Amino acid sequence: MSDFDPSRRRLLGLGLAGVGALSAGPLLSACASSAGTGGTPTTGGAITLQSNLTGAAKSGVEKLIADFNKLGKGTASLNTVATEIFRTQLPTYLSSANPPDLYTWYAGSVANAYSEKNLLLDVSEVWQGMGDYPQSLRTLATDATGKQVFVPMNNYWWGFFYRKSNFAKWGVQPPTNWAEFMTLCQTLKAKGIPPIGIGLGDTPWVASAWFDYLNIRINGAPFHRELLAGKQRFDDPKVKAVFTKWREALPYFDPKGKAYPFQEATTALLAGKTGMFLIGTFLADATAKDVVEDLDFFQFPIIDPAVPVAEEAPTDGFFASAKSANPAATKALLAYAASVEAQETYVANSSGIILPAHPKAKAADMPLVAKGKAMLAGAAELTQFFNRDSSDALQPTADTALTRFIDKPDQIDAILAEWQKNAEKVFKG
């Protein structure tokens, strides 16, 4: 989800989404599975981990594999593929006759969708040794039939990021509720600074964070999940209330934000050209090293104190192919990955700001990380992100609706009606 040669990639994505949709279908996976042989599981066999972690993020998973191989429970090899290729080819990998054993990917409805097609290995056995993990993560790792199919490695959080030095210079304080947030916006605007930064050019999905947060603050996480699962309607008055609230903040958005991607919006924030930016912790990856110390964030302001506080915490981890030729070694690797030791090594060697999934594993020793961890720990409910709580197919419908809303906020009704229509097409498949 970044923005290298977007037009070409979008085309490619269209074509490849087609591959995914079709190849995951029953006909082709049936013909593929006839060629795949289960074989008797043996410990000590070779397994492959198909990974989308490239660049600086790669060393965490490399170290994990190296440490696992020293244990003598199997020989794992790492195969790294660019994220954009991985995203489009994952269905093909999973439905091929001789698939890789393990995959880096997302928990929740994304994993569940593959599990429904019987493509994922049942890892309930691994979860029996994961008693320390909180119920929220266990739920995310469980599919619709009640078996666990996913092992979480880490998550991260979203929030309004800002530079401490800039807030001090402007003499403003982070807000805690919506009214204070509005005052802050007015103050910044009066000083000639666009208060709210955003980057929607090539990365329109960034706008979904606003929708997610407003929805879980106004209507609560259960409604949000039902909406994203197709059990509620987008033209519901409750959804309209989200946009009515959003409209109050809209005049304070950086007008240039529609033109550039989130990475450049980060540069604008750091240069003091915008006041704050609702974004995930991966923004630190786009920040010069000496500036990271100056970064801080505040929680998305509370709107209705009666609604239990939920936070967005996208969870990453591993799932395995149902056709793995060596399920014993695959599960051994997953069990190792879930340990405190493995998670601490993984997080310490990965890039950016991430939190280990194991509640007893230590995260990086930074005030910012401690604050983020405390925020997630204090939340009554956790959601992930729009596409992770629904599907990659539903995300474009949100992108269309939200971009149109930011352009023409007076057409909410028409936009929501169209969103509902587009979403129905996705849910009917």
What's the chain's length in residues? 429
Q: Whole-number minimum distance, CB 167 to other proteins, in Å?
A: 19
Residue from 47, 49, 53, 333 in contact with other proteins (CB under 8 A): 53
Size of interface with other proteins, in residues (CB under 8 A): 60
For residue 402, which of 300, 223, 253, 183 has the smallest C-alpha distance?
A: 253
Residue from 37, 42, 43, 54 in contact with other proteins (CB under 8 A): 54
Residue from 30, 66, 71, 97 in contact with other proteins (CB under 8 A): 97
344 lies in the site for other proteins, by CB under 8 A: no
Q: Whole-number minimum distance, CB 18 to other proteins, in Å?
A: 7
Tell me which residues in 21-40 interact with other proteins (CB under 8 A). Answer: 22-23, 28, 31-32, 35
Dihedral of the CA atoms 338, 344, 346, 351 (nearest 10)?
140
244 lies in the site for other proteins, by CB under 8 A: no
60, 346 Cβ separation under 8 angstroms? yes
Residue 177 CA to residue 174 CA, distance in Å, equals: 10
Residue from 185, 270, 310, 361 in contact with other proteins (CB under 8 A): 270
For residue 349, which of 67, 47, 71 has the smallest C-alpha distance?
A: 67
Residues 167-201, buried b or exposed e (16+ Cβ, 10 A)?
A: beeeebebbeebeebbebbebbeeeebbbbbbbbb
Of the candidate spans 38-46, 281-289, 336-344, 416-424, the one that interacts with other proteins by CB under 8 A turns out to be 281-289
69 lies in the site for other proteins, by CB under 8 A: no
Residue 42 CA to residue 349 CA, distance in Å, equals: 31
Residue 43 CA to residue 213 CA, distance in Å, equals: 45
Residue from 42, 43, 79, 186 in contact with other proteins (CB under 8 A): 79
Residue 54 CA to residue 71 CA, distance in Å, equals: 25
Output 24 or 121, the one with its CB closest to other proteins.
Answer: 24
Q: Whole-number minimum distance, CB 252 to other proteins, in Å?
A: 22
Tell me which residues in 98-157 interact with other proteins (CB under 8 A). Answer: 98, 100
Of the candidate spans 53-61, 170-178, 211-219, 369-377, the one that interacts with other proteins by CB under 8 A turns out to be 53-61
Largest CA distance in the chain: 71
Q: Report which DSSP code applies to 4.
A: S
Residues 334-348, buried b or exposed e (16+ Cβ, 10 A)?
A: bbbbbbeebbbbbbe
Q: Whole-number minimum distance, CB 111 to other proteins, in Å?
A: 17
Residue from 65, 68, 76, 96 in contact with other proteins (CB under 8 A): 96
Of the candidate spans 3-11, 182-190, 214-222, 377-385, the one that interacts with other proteins by CB under 8 A turns out to be 3-11
Residue 372 CA to residue 362 CA, distance in Å, equals: 13
Residue 146 φ then ψ, to 5°: 95, 5
Enter the tokens of residue 7: 């037009």
Q: Whole-number minimum distance, CB 191 to other proteins, in Å?
A: 22
Output 75 or 92, the one with its CB closest to other proteins.
Answer: 92
Q: Whole-number minimum distance, CB 262 to other proteins, in Å?
A: 8
1 lies in the site for other proteins, by CB under 8 A: yes
Output 196 or 279, the one with its CB closest to other proteins.
Answer: 279
3-state secondary structure of 266: helix
Output 78 or 340, the one with its CB closest to other proteins.
Answer: 78
For residue 136, which of 344, 336, 313, 338 has the smallest C-alpha distance?
A: 313
84 lies in the site for other proteins, by CB under 8 A: yes
Mark out the alpha helices in 39-177 (DSSP H runs). 58-70, 83-95, 109-116, 124-128, 135-141, 164-170
65, 78 Cβ separation under 8 angstroms? yes
Residue 270 φ then ψ, to 5°: -65, -30
Tell me which residues in 246-265 interact with other proteins (CB under 8 A). Answer: 262-264
Q: Whole-number minimum distance, CB 27 to other proteins, in Å?
A: 11
Residue from 26, 38, 44, 55 in contact with other proteins (CB under 8 A): 55
Residue from 33, 75, 83, 422 in contact with other proteins (CB under 8 A): 83
Residue from 271, 370, 374, 380 in contact with other proteins (CB under 8 A): 271
Chain residues binding other proteins by CB under 8 A are 1-4, 8, 11-12, 14-16, 18-19, 22-23, 28, 31-32, 35, 50, 52-57, 79-85, 88-89, 92-93, 96-98, 100, 262-264, 266-268, 270-271, 280, 282-283, 285-291, 351-352
